[in-house]
C-alpha cells in the first residue's frame, strides 16, 4: 500500500523499565481509531506475581485521548515479558493478532517444555494470524504486515502509514540489532529481514522494542530508515552480510538468556495466558532443567 502525508499515525510509547520493553499505541488523528502493539503484563519473578500496571497505564491513555482501539497486536512471542494482549482485549473489545508463524514457535516450545501432546499449537489463542503482505486499516491509516524472522522464527513488522513497528529486530542505531540465538532464531534471516525493513522509504519512522538506559534517563525508541542506513552500527550501508553475521554471532555468544525467558515463553505461546489452574486454584510455571547453557 502506498502512503501519503496524511497517513502518519500519532504514536505514543510506554516503557517497562524492568525489562527495557517499549509498548506502543498508534492512532489515526482523523478518526481517533488506533491499535496497541506489544503490551506488557507485569511479572515479578521473586514473588511469582503478575499485575497490570503497564496495561492500565495504556488504558488510561486510551480513555483520556478518546481513542477507539481496533486491534491489540503482538509482533512475536516475547522472551522477556508476558503479553497483556488478552487483558486489553477483554477491556477494550478489540481482537488480538500475531503473525501466522507463531505456530512454529508453539511447536518448538511445546517440546522444550514437554507439554502434553494435546497442547494447541495452531495459533487458536489469537483472533487473527497475519501472513506476509496482509493489509488492514486502522481508521484511515493503512497497515501492512512484513514477515521479519531472525530474532524468532515468527517475528513480524507492522508498517502503519509512515511508521514501522519492528520490535526485537532492530535496536536504536547506536546499539545495532537484537540477538538471534534463541531457539528458532537465525542471524542470516535477521539480516535479510532488516534489509527489507531498510528498503522502506527513507523517512519511515522505525519504532524499536527495547532500550536499556541508566536509571533516571528516558529511553530512546525511534529513528528513521535514513538514520539507520547512515549510522546503525551493525547494518548501516556499506556493511556486508558476512560482516554482520560475524559481528552478531560473536556478540550473541557472550549473552545470557533473559532473566524471565523460561517463564515468559510458556505464557506467550498461550497468547499471554497462564497455564490452567491446578486443583488448588493456582497456576504453575515449569522450567526445563539442563536444556540451556548457563553462560
Contact 141, 25 (CB under 8 A): no
Q: What is the mean pLDDT of residues 242-257?
A: 96
DSSP string across 175-228: T-B----STT--HHHHHHHHHHHTTS-TTPEEEESB--PPTT-----EEEHHHH
pTM for the whole thing?
0.95
Q: What is the mean pLDDT of residues 132-154?
A: 97
**Tens digits of residue pLDDT in 149-207:** 999 999 999 999 999 999 899 999 999 999 999 999 999 999 999 999 999 999 999 99
Give the model's pLDDT for residue 196: 98
Q: What is the mean pLDDT of residues 58-71?
A: 98
Give the model's pLDDT for residue 3: 46
59: left (phi over 0), alpha (psi -120 to 50) or beta: alpha
Q: What residue ranges define each of the domains in the chain, with the CATH number in brackets?
A: 10-255 (3.60.15.10)
**Tens digits of residue pLDDT in 81-101:** 999 999 999 999 999 999 999
Give CA angle at 255 (205, 102), nearest 5°. Answer: 55
Q: What is the mean pLDDT of residues 48-62?
A: 97
59 pLDDT higher than 50: yes
Q: What is the mean pLDDT of residues 1-26?
A: 86
**Tens digits of residue pLDDT in 262-284:** 999 999 999 999 999 999 999 99
**Tens digits of residue pLDDT in 200-229:** 999 999 999 999 999 999 999 999 999 999
Q: Give the residue with greater pLDDT, 295 vs 294.
A: 294
- Percent above pLDDT 90 for the chain: 95
Give the model's pLDDT for residue 251: 96
Query: What rounded mean pLDDT belongs to the chain?
Result: 96
Amino acid at each position: 500500500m502506498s502512503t501519503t502525508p496524511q497517513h502518519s499515525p500519532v504514536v505514543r510509547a510506554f516503557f517497562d523499565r524492568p525489562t527495557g520493553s517499549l509498548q506502543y499505541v498508534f492512532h489515526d488523528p482523523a478518526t481517533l481509531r488506533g491499535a496497541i502493539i506489544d503490551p506488557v503484563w507485569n511479572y515479578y519473578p521473586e514473588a511469582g506475581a503478575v499485575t497490570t500496571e503497564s496495561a492500565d497505564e495504556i488504558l488510561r491513555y486510551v480513555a483520556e485521548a478518546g481513542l477507539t482501539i481496533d486491534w491489540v497486536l503482538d509482533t512475536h512471542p516475547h522472551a522477556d515479558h508476558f503479553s497483556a494482549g488478552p487483558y486489553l482485549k477483554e477491556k477494550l473489545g478489540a481482537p488480538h493478532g500475531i503473525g501466522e508463524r507463531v505456530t512454529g514457535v508453539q511447536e518448538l516450545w511445546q517440546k522444550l517444555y514437554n507439554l502434553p501432546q494435546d497442547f494447541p499449537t495452531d495459533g487458536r489463542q489469537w483472533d487473527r494470524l497475519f501472513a506476509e503482505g496482509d493489509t488492514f486499516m486502522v481508521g484511515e491509516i493503512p497497515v501492512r504486515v512484513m514477515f521479519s524472522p531472525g530474532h524468532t522464527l515468527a517475528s513480524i513488522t507492522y508498517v502503519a502509514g509512515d511508521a514501522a513497528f519492528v520490535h526485537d529486530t532492530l535496536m536504536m542505531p547506536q546499539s545495532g540489532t537484537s540477538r538471534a540465538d534463541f531457539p528458532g532464531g537465525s542471524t542470516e534471516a535477521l539480516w535479510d529481514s532488516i534489509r527489507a525493513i531498510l528498503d522502506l522509504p527513507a523517512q519511515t519512522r522505525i519504532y524499536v522494542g527495547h532500550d536499556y538506559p541508566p536509571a533516571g534517563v528516558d529511553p530512546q525508541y525511534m529513528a528513521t530508515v535514513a538514520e539507520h542506513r547512515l549510522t546503525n552500527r551493525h547494518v548501516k550501508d556499506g556493511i556486508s552480510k558476512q560482516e554482520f553475521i560475524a559481528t552478531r554471532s560473536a556478540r550473541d555468544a557472550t549473552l545470557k538468556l533473559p532473566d524471565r525467558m523460561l517463564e515468559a515463553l510458556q505464557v506467550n505461546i498461550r497468547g499471554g495466558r497462564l497455564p490452567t489452574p491446578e486443583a488448588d486454584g493456582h497456576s504453575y510455571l515449569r522450567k526445563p532443567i539442563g536444556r540451556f547453557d548457563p553462560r
